[in-house]
């Protein structure tokens, strides 16, 4: 039974630091790279993040990786344990949701030997320890996270945003951050490839407040990434900037830092209909769906092409900033109940083994679709004209229930982060 959530959306609790001694600058005499991406020498394998796996009988290290699926490597882990280097044979498992791209997300795992009481860093190699040149292939260690299995978490809700690239929607970014605050989110993790200078100013603003963590996402420097999920329409070697690997890394990165993680995009808002925040909603969902580990929220499209620019919800001071105003979009496309409708999730990360874009490939407790009269996802994006012409449209103004607080908060951030500087298209 999770503790009662506190509604402190304007306060960002800090993780409990100082329990563990700082790691040496050169553990086992090697450099350390904390951020993704680390290329494995002689292979088309890229390390994303490494984590202690506490949920198996045998203690192991799980490394989230991006691999060339056609390669059949024999992996080994080089562990740094108590200042000593130890080789361990590794196994790997490629996730099934690669969408037929050449590269896919994989788990590389190695058991931790008894003599290794604390593996602080790991490197992956394709050579066996018998080969004299094996160490020459390894140039950098990755820190092993999740050293301790925690039961008390600094955050109630963390939002994972994957694959930010070429992003320039300043107004929606600020609106999203402030909506998340009002909903009770205490940390937003963004896997960023690139953005313009004005977006960077906003990200810096929220990073200084310790509300946002930016994970540098440089996979496009190594692999020809696709900008979509269908290879036939968006060519490349890896699905959508490696989105799935980023989502899996975020789940593991915050597994012992957050009660729940939400996997979603910046144009998506999971809104309760009978409450104002996730802080109020989630205890009710826990009661109603007590046998489930996560909650699916039905996707509902609000087309950007249909807008209501009511001056009450469109302050003049916002008009000089690039981007879309979510308060102007109040027309929802009705979902066909006879068809499958996509969703995004809020989940207990300690139950997840493999995450994908919509849901999970491997989870200890299954997820449940939340009644759309309790909560649903508001997805504000471009919708093809042909779909608009063939669907029923409904006026839905629920987002505007947050307008009074949202307008004040967004205006303040735009002023403080961008100093009323004009942002061009």
Q: What would the pLDDT profile of 330-372 be if each residue is shown by its tens digit?
A: 999 999 888 888 999 999 999 999 999 988 999 999 999 999 9
Q: Indicate whether 14 pLDDT > 50.
A: no
The domain locations on the chain are 27-145, 155-418
Q: Say what the pLDDT of residue 136 is.
A: 58
From CA 80, how far away is CA 17, in angstroms rounded? 22
Taking the mean position of all CA atoms in its chain, how far away is CA 376? 19
CATH number, domain 155-418: 3.90.550
Give the model's pLDDT for residue 129. 61
Instruction: Categorize the per-residue pLDDT at 135 as very low, low, confident or very high, splitting at 50, 70 and 90.
Output: low
What was the pLDDT predicted at 29?
83
Confidence check: pLDDT of 12 > 50? no
| Main-chain dihedrals φ then ψ at residue 256, nearest 5 degrees | -115, 25
Label residue 424 by pLDDT band (50, 70, 90): very low
* Sequence-distant (≥ 6) Cβ neighbours of residue 36 within 8 angstroms: 46, 47, 48, 49, 215, 216, 217, 218, 219, 249
As a whole number of angstroms, the distance between CA 30 and CA 167 comes to 36
Considering the chain, what is the average pLDDT of its residues? 90
Confidence of residue 187 (pLDDT cuts 50, 70, 90): very high
In this prediction, residues 163-171 reach a mean pLDDT of 94
Q: What pLDDT does 137 receive?
A: 66
Q: Kindly report, residue by residue over 249-306, the tens digit of the pLDDT.
A: 999 999 999 999 999 999 999 999 999 999 999 999 999 999 999 999 999 999 999 9
What does residue 109 show for φ and ψ, rounded to 5 degrees? -125, 145
Mean pLDDT of 79-89: 91
How far apart are the C-alpha atoms of 35 and 33, rounded to whole Å?
6
pLDDT of residue 30: 87
- The yes-or-no verdict on residue 120 having pLDDT over 90 is yes
| Residue 15: per-residue pLDDT | 44
Band (1; pLDDT cuts 50, 70, 90): very low
Average pLDDT of span 58-87: 93
pLDDT of 49 strictly over 50: yes
Q: How far is CA 201 from CA 96, 197, 198, in A?
A: 38, 6, 5
């Amino acid at each position: 039974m999770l503790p009662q959530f506190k509604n402190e959306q304007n306060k960002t609790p800090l993780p409990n630091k100082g329990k563990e001694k700082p790691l040496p600058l050169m553990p086992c005499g090697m450099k350390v790279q904390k951020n993704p991406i680390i290329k494995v020498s002689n292979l088309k394998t890229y390390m994303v993040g490494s984590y202690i796996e506490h949920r198996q009988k045998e203690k192991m290290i799980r490394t989230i990786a991006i691999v060339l699926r056609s390669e059949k490597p024999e992996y080994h882990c080089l562990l740094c344990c108590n200042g000593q280097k130890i080789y361990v044979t590794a196994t790997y498992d490629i996730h099934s949701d690669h969408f037929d791209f050449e590269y896919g997300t994989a788990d590389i795992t190695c058991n931790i030997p008894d003599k290794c009481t604390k593996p602080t860093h790991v490197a992956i190699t394709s050579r066996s320890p018998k080969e004299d040149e094996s160490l020459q292939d390894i140039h950098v260690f990755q820190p092993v996270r999740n050293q301790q299995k925690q039961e008390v978490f600094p955050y109630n809700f963390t939002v994972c945003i994957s694959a930010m690239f070429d992003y320039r929607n300043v107004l929606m970014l600020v609106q999203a951050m402030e909506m998340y605050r009002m909903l009770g989110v205490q940390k937003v993790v963004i896997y960023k490839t690139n953005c313009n200078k004005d977006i960077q100013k906003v990200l810096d603003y929220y990073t200084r407040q310790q509300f946002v963590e930016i994970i540098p996402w440089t996979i496009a420097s190594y692999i020809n990434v696709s900008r979509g999920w269908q290879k036939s329409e968006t060519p490349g070697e890896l699905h959508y900037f490696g989105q799935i690997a980023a989502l899996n890394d975020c789940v593991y990165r915050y597994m012992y830092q957050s009660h729940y993680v939400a996997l979603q995009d910046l144009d998506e808002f999971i809104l309760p209909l009978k409450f104002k925040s996730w802080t109020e909603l989630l205890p009710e969902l826990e009661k109603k769906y007590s046998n489930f580990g996560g909650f699916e929220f039905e996707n509902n499209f609000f087309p950007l092409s249909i807008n209501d620019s009511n001056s009450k919800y469109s302050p003049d001071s916002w008009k000089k900033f690039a981007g879309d105003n979510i308060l102007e979009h109040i027309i929802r496309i009705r979902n066909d109940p006879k068809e499958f409708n996509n969703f995004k999730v809020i989940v207990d990360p300690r139950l997840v083994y493999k995450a994908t874009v919509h849901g999970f490939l491997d989870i200890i407790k299954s997820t449940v679709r939340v009644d759309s009269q309790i909560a649903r996802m508001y997805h504000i994006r471009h919708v093809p004209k042909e779909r608009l012409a063939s669907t029923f449209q409904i006026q839905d103004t629920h987002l505007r229930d947050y307008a009074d607080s949202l307008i004040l908060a967004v205006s303040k951030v735009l002023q403080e982060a961008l100093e009323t500087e004009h942002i061009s298209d």
